[in-house]
Structure 1
């Protein structure tokens, strides 16, 4: 408070503290003693306070998780650069005509059904509209500097209205009702495209998107990898939860590093390639020499249950690191003559090593079909197999085993991420139930929808559908 130099602004803060539970950390003052950032989030707030007009130097304004249904009282805030009005009850985009300096606008998780009122926001760089009821992409013609457009979880059926967004680098259209990839031909700067959870049956309409690096088409109805001929900069391609049976159409994707597919749908030949980490021939030079490239992939290991904790992952990683250090020290600390003798000894004992390898692999196979296998044992057996392959001089199989070991470790990352998403979803459900018990059905509906998206992420569609039904029920009760 002491830093605020303007008496009018000081009075505003005093009143906001008194009436709207404002805390000291909810506002910021610049070197001139003027308020430049404000965060309001009292759940009972129904209108934007008129006293906001007394803060003309405000640059960042947050007002979220309230009952506000209308955007108003912002006309005088001509210096505003960021406006965050997410998770409210706003039904219409309006009252932004004078905010010509606005660079970030966040209207996510409201009740907006139409994109409008953005004509004067020519400086806008990021627009967040996810979690609304928008059915059409429109009225974005003047946003020529827009770089990020988030339209996740709306009711959009067709991709259009984007022709003027020549600066767009990230577009999220996930969780909509889109059936066809189209309308992207002029987005030459686009690098990230998310079309997850739609009704797309074919990969098409991407011919001019040379700069795209990340493409997410999970949870659609795609059966064939195609239409990627010109995506020479593509690094990450996520095609999980489709019905793709063959790895193909990636010949020109020379930069591809991360390919995500479902192994279960692949034909047997491509399952073998998939399990080997897709050490595929994917490029060809003009002189007809083939270029070999390794692509990282996600792989499903049958019947393994994720019951271990994050501590175990750390333990596994340290075990791997320790074994690598030991092996490295053994190699570097011996002379050439001794190395020669070791090679001779290894040749003499080659049969014994092979028998040991067979026993080790058999033990590993038994562990993999157990109902509740031990990750440490699996890891140790795989690490032992890798070392034996190295001792036998079979570098290719040693490398493949090293890849499989890394997949075991990566599986823990996936597990921890899913557990975190599930936990977040559960917390939101509890919050929604509390709101529902107080007859705040519209807000409860919004939270149920939000929770549903967390469960979609982890593949629990049954729970997601139940939450969506609860959301619809809440909306009906509100009416």
Structure 2
């Protein structure tokens, strides 16, 4: 009988009775506390000498197998059988976490009205077998598969939403003809260059977070883009946004941004999420007078100079910076009549007097309803 491993005893459906030196039996698949030494799992299945074992041969015979008591594993249907119970008039098909490897094996040609196809969390490597849905398909979700190359979308010109997040894609190709796309997702791939988007003039939302992008480029054709999400990349400069007149939201957290000056190219920006960068100053925001939400948390900002013109500000998130002057906070933010939320924890002004800090901020900014995670008054 093979010794259990630390992970092996956690598999669902397999409950192994374990006994430690103190005769403690566990039925929940977790090792008993006595079965760990100071370095963790010790690799031994300990059976006390006085234990009653129904099949003692299991302890001495390495070839022993109790076949009669083995629980049958879950039998998954073949890909071609997964949709047999689905109505052929359905407008939505969901095959999530079903180990689908082949799209053609699903025989999608049976379905004449499918507008949304979700094949999340499967084993698909090739995009194929979808042309039969071209007339009706609008939303294609292939999140979390094994796709390396974008192919097989030539006829899907009615798509409005395409999700290829959590795959293995290195290059954005073969989608510029999908001119009806409004939402495009490439989160967590291996993309290093923004490219191949020239025809997507109706795109409103583009998600490229968790890739390998170093530069904001080739975006000028996206005249209707409203939301750009590029967090967790390697971007050092905000240049490249000047061709986006309708950009309303920019999420560029966890990059390497030092200067906000290029944001003057997008004066219509309403939400800016730029935490976890290398900012030391807020200078350069003066033109962004429509900002309602500003998140600069986890930077190295010392001064709030630059916030003066942002009269429409509603939420200001600035935790874990180097802000020390409460007087400056009052000067820069007190006139913001719509300001309801401020986060300033982790700054010197909070760390210096943690017991008094929140009350001082409340007195300095009487219009605020929430300081950090605490509501200070009800509107």
Same fold (TM over 0.5): yes
1:271 has 2:314 as partner: no
Deviations 1:192-243 (A, max 9, x none): 0011000111112222312210001110011111211221211111111110
Which has the higher mean CA deviation after the structures are superposed, 91-100 or 37-46?
Answer: 37-46
> Quick one: distance in 1 between partners of 2:98 and 2:221?
38
Change (3 A) 1:177 1:76: same
The aligned residue for residue 300 of structure 2 is: 243
Of Structure 1 and Structure 2, which has the larger fraction of its residues in helix?
1
How far residue 256 of structure 1 moved from its aligned partner, in angstroms, is: 1.3
Q: Which structure 1 segments of 5+ residues have no match? A: 1-16, 283-291, 304-364, 370-377, 383-395, 413-479
Secondary structure (helix, strand or coil) at the match of 1:206 reads helix
Deviations 1:374-428 (A, max 9, x none): xxxx99xx7xxxxxxxxxxxxx99855977884375389xxxxxxxxxxxxxxxx
Change (3 A) 1:147 1:409: closer
The aligned residue for residue 157 of structure 1 is: 214
How far residue 89 of structure 1 moved from its aligned partner, in angstroms, is: 0.7
The aligned residue for residue 309 of structure 2 is: 252
1:112 to 169, 174, 181: 169
The aligned residue for residue 65 of structure 1 is: 121
> Quick one: distance in 2 between partners of 1:233 and 1:152?
24
Q: Which structure 2 segments of 5+ residues have no match? A: 1-75
Change (3 A) 1:200 1:405: closer
CA contact (8 A) 2:320 2:346 kept: no
Secondary structure (helix, strand or coil) at the match of 2:326 reads helix
> Quick one: distance in 1 between partners of 2:240 and 2:204?
17
1:133 has 2:194 as partner: no
The aligned residue for residue 9 of structure 2 is: none
Which has the higher mean CA deviation after the structures are superposed, 399-408 or 96-105?
Answer: 399-408
1:49 has 2:104 as partner: yes
> Quick one: distance in 2 between partners of 1:179 and 1:90?
29
The aligned residue for residue 333 of structure 1 is: none
The aligned residue for residue 368 of structure 1 is: 355
CA contact (8 A) 2:341 2:371 kept: no
* Alignment RMSD (CA, Å): 3.3
How far residue 120 of structure 1 moved from its aligned partner, in angstroms, is: 1.9
1:19 has 2:64 as partner: no
> Quick one: distance in 2 between partners of 1:404 and 1:255?
14
How far residue 159 of structure 1 moved from its aligned partner, in angstroms, is: 0.3
1:122 has 2:179 as partner: yes
How far residue 295 of structure 1 moved from its aligned partner, in angstroms, is: 6.4
CA contact (8 A) 2:341 2:368 kept: no
How far residue 49 of structure 1 moved from its aligned partner, in angstroms, is: 3.4
The aligned residue for residue 51 of structure 2 is: none
1:100 has 2:150 as partner: no
Secondary structure (helix, strand or coil) at the match of 2:131 reads coil
1:227 has 2:290 as partner: no
How far residue 300 of structure 1 moved from its aligned partner, in angstroms, is: 1.4
> Quick one: distance in 2 between partners of 1:115 and 1:248?
40
What is the correspondence of 1:69-468 to structure 2 with a 5 Å cutoff?
A: 69-78=125-134, 79-262=136-319, 265-266=322-323, 268=324, 270-274=325-329, 279-281=333-335, 296-300=341-345, 368=355, 406-407=370-371, 410=374
> Quick one: distance in 2 between partners of 1:165 and 1:174?
19
How far residue 88 of structure 1 moved from its aligned partner, in angstroms, is: 0.6
CA contact (8 A) 1:277 1:295 kept: no
> Quick one: distance in 2 between partners of 1:399 and 1:192?
31
> Quick one: distance in 1 between partners of 2:327 and 2:312?
22
Secondary structure (helix, strand or coil) at the match of 1:35 reads coil
How far residue 43 of structure 1 moved from its aligned partner, in angstroms, is: 4.2
> Quick one: distance in 2 between partners of 1:66 and 1:44?
5
CA contact (8 A) 1:263 1:271 kept: no
1:35 has 2:94 as partner: no
Aligned pair count? Answer: 294
**Dislocated runs of 4+, deviation >6 Å:** 401-405
